[in-house]
Amino acid sequence: MRVALFTTCLAEALAPRSLQATVLVLEHFGVTPEVPAEQTCCGQPLLSNGLPEEAATLARRMCVIFRAFDAVVTPSGSCCAIVRERFADLFVHGSDDHRDALALAARTFELVEFLETQLRVAVPTTSAPSPECDPSMTCHDACHLRGIHRHGCTAPFLTAFGCRDVRPLPDMAQCCGFGGMFSTQFPEVSSALGQEKLAHVATTGASTLVVSDTGCGAHLAGLAHRQRADNNSAAAFRIISPAEALAHRLGLLAMESIA
């Protein structure tokens, strides 16, 4: 099986560790991912901001770049959902492009989903290499995972995967307020939602927040960093991707201390 890593532009720019972790986790389970060099952006910012024709040109690129692969895996929930849910509608139904988009949608998976539903990986039999690698965690799933029926799946998977202390996040269903360019167009609304999310995270007392989308993670991390700059006593926790949580648990990647 040829598997491609769909890196996403945002993760390349902001969260390279989540991509490293994805590669290491896949390799741990016997999959050797390739990284097609020409991939750039899937077009989500264009699609979400009223430029569907422009988005279609990038969607078409994606179909070409990933054509030779049996599966396309990404750690970013929302980019995955865009390919799955919205690509096909960018093209005339019945056209070759439309068929290609549907085919790509059928082969594209978010990492946790891929491990759970495609590879059906076994739970690691050994415990985490050190307690630090299996910290207290709580999960916030990217809202776009709703569309592919994977919203709320990360926490149960991590628990099933042998992470010992995964705590329920109150009101997980509510958006963190990121929303792509929404976060810069309506910063007050976006931040108010983000602060509410951070407050819920703080009530769990978990040391680690697992966020299944790079953008949501960057938004929450940026808010938390500003909060701590304004108020030293604000709760401190690290924000990582599910890929990193798994790589830590398997001892494939060293855990970073909380800043």
**Using CA atoms, how far apart are residues 109 and 91, in angstroms rounded to an integer?**
21
Q: Which is nearer to other proteins, 116 or 177 (CB)?
A: 177
Q: Which is nearer to other proteins, 164 or 225 (CB)?
A: 225
Residues 105, 84 contacting (CB under 8 angstroms): yes
Q: Which is nearer to other proteins, 73 or 193 (CB)?
A: 193
Report in angstroms how near the CB of residue 76 gets to other proteins at its nearest.
13
Report in angstroms how near the CB of residue 243 gets to other proteins at its nearest.
12
Report in angstroms how near the CB of residue 107 gets to other proteins at its nearest.
21
Q: Which is nearer to other proteins, 89 or 127 (CB)?
A: 89
Dihedral over Cα of 8, 9, 11, 12: its sign:
positive
**Maximum distance among all alpha carbons in the chain?**
58
Q: Which is nearer to other proteins, 88 or 161 (CB)?
A: 88
Q: Which is nearer to other proteins, 161 or 215 (CB)?
A: 215
Report in angstroms how near the CB of residue 257 gets to other proteins at its nearest.
9
Q: Which is nearer to other proteins, 107 or 200 (CB)?
A: 200
Report in angstroms how near the CB of residue 124 gets to other proteins at its nearest.
21
Q: Three-state SS string across the chain, please? A: CCEEECCCHHHHHHCHHHHHHHHHHHHHCCCCCECCCCCCCCCHHHHHCCCHHHHHHHHHHHHHHCCCCCEEEECCHHHHHHHHHCCHHHCCCCCHHHHHHHHHHHHEEEHHHHHHHHHCCCCCCCCCCCHHHCCCEEEECCHHHHHHCCCCCHHHHHHHCCCCCEECCCCCCCCCCCCCCHHHHCHHHHHHHHHHHHHHHHHHCCCEEEECCHHHHHHHHHHHHHHHHHCCCCCCCEEECHHHHHHHHCCCCCCCCCC
Report in angstroms how near the CB of residue 5 gets to other proteins at its nearest.
8
Report in angstroms how near the CB of residue 212 gets to other proteins at its nearest.
13
